[in-house]
Structure 1
Amino acid sequence: MIILDTALARRAAQGRPIRVGMVGAGFMGAGIALQIAQAVKGMELCAIAARRTDQARAVFEGSRKGEPVRHADRTDEISRAIRDGVPVVTQDPAALAAAQGLDAIIEVTGAMDYALRGVETAIDTGKHVVLMNAELDGTIGPLLAARARAAGVVYTNADGDQPGVQMNLIRFVQGIGVKPVLAGNIKGLQDTDRTPDTQRGFAQKWGQNVAMVTSFADGTKIAFEQAIVANGTGMRVARRGMIGPDPTHKDPTAPLRPLEDYVEMLAPHIDPDGPGIVDFVVGARPGPGVFVLGTHNDPRQQHYLALYKLGTGPFYLFYTPYHLCHFEVPMTVARAVLFKDAALAPISGPQVGVIATAKRDLQQGEQIDGIGGFMTYGQAENSDVIARARLLPMGLAEGAVLRRAIGKGEVLHFADVDLPQGSRVAQLYTEMERMFGLVPQPEGAF
């Protein structure tokens, strides 16, 4: 941040702001637009793509007062608006991503195929990609990251959201010579029975999408978030669904417990010599936020760590007791454009994915309603297990039709469903499995 603010100030003084396009104009997109306009010198949000262009227009008008907003359907029209310095909105994320004059795009929809139209085009046309879309990243992020590396651009999740905050903390811990062995997320609630009906009031109170809020509550979001941390570090999960210590589950009125108490609950599941695990806890204080457990094998450094009040080990606790979401996203853009540095990106093939699990008894012939709905929730699982058992990724479940009845709590398999025709994310998932050797290659493949 200290380096970034200096570099951005220099761009502002030179009259060369980083120019950004955004896909999505919902709750988080509105916050990002406001943050760039109010607080980030040396950066300009130039274009927004959204299914509802009136919503995109409102985002611009709420952040850049008194400026006319242009509507465009074609890439050349969007490029012209960017050259003219006029904010522009469009329905087509691919047209936006292909426009000349943009350095990066921010994807903030939570969608799959719609988001991909912008992400794929941005990579193909040499633009950096910043995602606030854990669902897409946790489904096919390793493939997209490999494509971005080949194109010479940065593909990254965002600072401010829990995965990015975890990765920043991991890098700090590694930087002082401590080995991270667990990356953790702090939650206030985990209940797989939550549905849009139970979460509607909360969503309305805060002006958020009810499906997104439901995915927070039923555990799907935490599964995706920890999956992308695993993919960015090489870590794994200790078991399906993670450990997720939750002392408040049987007694919601129980007082919050110090985060230090959870170290003992997690310690038996940690192999200090292994690649590390991702996990979460519920009901910790301070929270919300993220934490990292690390080890050190030098007795002299252990002595110093004890002196500095981190205890006697074997696990040392580091934590960040907040995550500031949209406030930090512009910093991710600056890291990518100015320093080619990703906040969090897959390092190779998938380590952990998210599998669809029945939230209630499901009947043959029903069509799955997707993430944050009434029918399924996501659980984190190691990718080799997913591939071997042909488990259905949560990111592919929406719109799938059930071939057989599934009982509550059962995980779904590819063989249990007919996927929607023409799904781009499903096509790329198959490509990702082949790229990283997760499924046998067909005879004669090359």
Structure 2
Amino acid sequence: MESVKRIGVVGTGLIGKGLIMALENDPSFDLSRILTRREIDSMIGFPSAGKLTNDVDELIDNSDLIVECSGDVLYGTDVIDRAIRASLPVVTMNSELQVTTGSYFARRGFITEAEGDQPGCLAALHENVLQMGFKPLVYGNVKGFLKLDPQPDEMEYWSNRNGTSLEMTTSFTDGTKVQIEQVFVANGLGAGIAADGLLGPLSEDAHSGGVHLAERAKEAGCAISDYILSPKTPPGVFITAEIDSRHKDALRYYKMGEGPYYTMLVNYHLCHLEILKTIRRVFSGGGVLLNNGTHPRISAAAVAKRDLYPGHAIRRGIGSFDVRGIAVEIAAHSEHVPIGLLSDAVVVRPVREGQMLTFADVELPNSLALRAWLEIKEEALYAPSR
């Protein structure tokens, strides 16, 4: 009889807590340990509280697979490094980590993003449309609202109302989250970007926005990763693709429109609930759903939201009121600082509002994440083409 697989969870925020409750209800898995940085005595009433630990070794020793959903790039990188060294497969719900250090781990072991967040859902949709014979042109994300420089008071209001952290709420609102997600999709699915910061056209619906982006993809000569700003479209993901024109009459009958571009929309993503599908995929030998690739071409650069002066400390870049993230090509902006690395960073040169931060502008603490990025960048810029 096959033994029940032991699942270790890293992170006790919104996603981690939801996954823990889902695992409690699934007898095919054993929730083994939950790694947290919080004081365990303060977490009275937390689900499966008896499995909480602050000890990475305890997590590793009692798990057959690790799910990393801490939302923290530097901390998550350290934990995943331990898991990979122990030859454990790693599933993430952490696009921020994937676009910063994921490629470092993709060369060393098994790491995949889960379905549930937009990149994983796009990867699953990608597999589906390829099997039907479509050729993707646009890997699209649907965003309903965008404000590049939201203020603290409004973000605190929405954070409290939605039960999400202030940083998470801010990164959703200022576009950092969608930029990171589409960087990840571009690298993982072999697409490009049409412009720094993406295009993000205002669209009535997913199909009209997808057609607009598909035309830009045809001009670029490659599939692109981007998003639409569409307040009336449900949150989700879509792929706009082309197919053998002999299917045109049938696709018209199937209410897919006149072509030549067709849009497949998934109008939901259920985050922690869908992680279970990816865990099953891994154990059944289904392989990587999505990772950042071993040789990424796109990154998420930090851009100043306001003038920054020497001595200013950036505690955490993602979700801050100091910087936001935009998608860029690594080769064109080789000295940019990935926004995921801005943790306890100190500004050392004046940076003007709207300026992209470079490594000469900030002092970063030494970390595995920093060393991993420098290796990734070296490969991206100087490795022979493959």
- How much has 1:439 moved relative to structure 2? 4.5
For residue 395 of structure 1, what is the aligned residue in structure 2? Answer: 340
TM-score, structure 1 as length reference: 0.81
Alpha-carbon contact 1:365-1:401 (below 8 Å) kept: yes
- How much has 1:56 moved relative to structure 2? 8.8
Q: Which amino acid aligns with 2:18?
A: G
Q: Which amino acid aligns with 2:349?
A: R
Q: Mark the runs of 5 or more structure 1 residues left unpaired by the alignment.
A: 1-13, 70-87, 149-153, 248-256, 442-446
Q: Does 1:147 align with 2:103?
A: no
Alpha-carbon contact 1:235-1:351 (below 8 Å) kept: no
Residues 401-412 of structure 1 aligned to structure 2 (within 5 Å): 401-412=346-357
- How much has 1:216 moved relative to structure 2? 0.8
- Secondary structure (helix, strand or coil) at the match of 1:413 reads coil
- Paired with 1:126 and 1:132, the residues of 2 have a C-alpha distance of 19
Q: Which amino acid aligns with 2:371?
A: Q
Deviations 1:308-350 (A, max 9, x none): 2212222110110011001111221121122242221233311
Match for 1:32 among 12, 19, 22?
19
Q: Does 1:281 align with 2:228?
A: yes
Alpha-carbon contact 1:196-1:211 (below 8 Å) kept: no
Match for 1:102 among 63, 72, 76?
63
- How much has 1:412 moved relative to structure 2? 1.1
Q: Does 1:327 align with 2:313?
A: no
Q: Does 1:338 align with 2:284?
A: yes
Q: Does 1:133 align with 2:120?
A: no
For residue 430 of structure 1, what is the aligned residue in structure 2? Answer: 374
Q: Which amino acid aligns with 1:438?
A: L
- How much has 1:276 moved relative to structure 2? 0.7
- Secondary structure (helix, strand or coil) at the match of 1:278 reads strand
Alignment CA distance shift 1:33-1:181 (3 Å): same
Residues 23-172 of structure 1 aligned to structure 2 (within 5 Å): 23-38=10-25, 40-54=26-40, 58=44, 62-64=46-48, 69=50, 88-93=51-56, 95-99=57-61, 101-148=62-109, 154-172=110-128
Alignment CA distance shift 1:431-1:263 (3 Å): closer
Deviations 1:53-95 (A, max 9, x none): 428955xx5444xxx82xxxxxxxxxxxxxxxxxx322233x1
Alignment CA distance shift 1:272-1:307 (3 Å): farther
- Paired with 1:330 and 1:222, the residues of 2 have a C-alpha distance of 23
- Paired with 1:371 and 1:112, the residues of 2 have a C-alpha distance of 10
Match for 1:311 among 250, 253, 257?
257
- Secondary structure (helix, strand or coil) at the match of 2:218 reads coil
Q: Mark the runs of 5 or more structure 2 residues left unpaired by the alignment.
A: none
How many residues are treated as equivalent by the alignment? 383
TM-score, structure 2 as length reference: 0.93
Deviations 1:370-410 (A, max 9, x none): 210110000011222232xx111111222222222111111
- Paired with 2:230 and 2:216, the residues of 1 have a C-alpha distance of 19
**Aligned-residue identity in percent:** 33
- Paired with 1:338 and 1:197, the residues of 2 have a C-alpha distance of 47
Residues 176-325 of structure 1 aligned to structure 2 (within 5 Å): 176-246=132-202, 257-271=204-218, 274-296=221-243, 298-325=244-271
Alpha-carbon contact 1:353-1:381 (below 8 Å) kept: yes
Deviations 1:34-57 (A, max 9, x none): 11112x230121101111142895
Alpha-carbon contact 1:53-1:90 (below 8 Å) kept: no
For residue 252 of structure 1, what is the aligned residue in structure 2? Answer: none
Q: Which amino acid aligns with 1:204?
A: N
Q: Which amino acid aligns with 1:432?
A: I
- Paired with 1:322 and 1:359, the residues of 2 have a C-alpha distance of 31
- Secondary structure (helix, strand or coil) at the match of 1:339 reads coil
Match for 1:415 among 348, 357, 360?
360
- Secondary structure (helix, strand or coil) at the match of 1:47 reads strand
- Paired with 1:267 and 1:56, the residues of 2 have a C-alpha distance of 51
Alignment CA distance shift 1:143-1:195 (3 Å): farther
- How much has 1:261 moved relative to structure 2? 2.8
- Paired with 1:371 and 1:197, the residues of 2 have a C-alpha distance of 18
For residue 3 of structure 1, what is the aligned residue in structure 2? Answer: none
- Secondary structure (helix, strand or coil) at the match of 2:351 reads coil
For residue 320 of structure 2, what is the aligned residue in structure 1? Answer: 373
User: Larger Rg: 1 or 2?
Assistant: 1
- How much has 1:227 moved relative to structure 2? 1.1
- Paired with 1:324 and 1:56, the residues of 2 have a C-alpha distance of 28
Deviations 1:278-316 (A, max 9, x none): 1111125431010001012x3312333223221222211
State the Cα RMSD in Å.
2.1
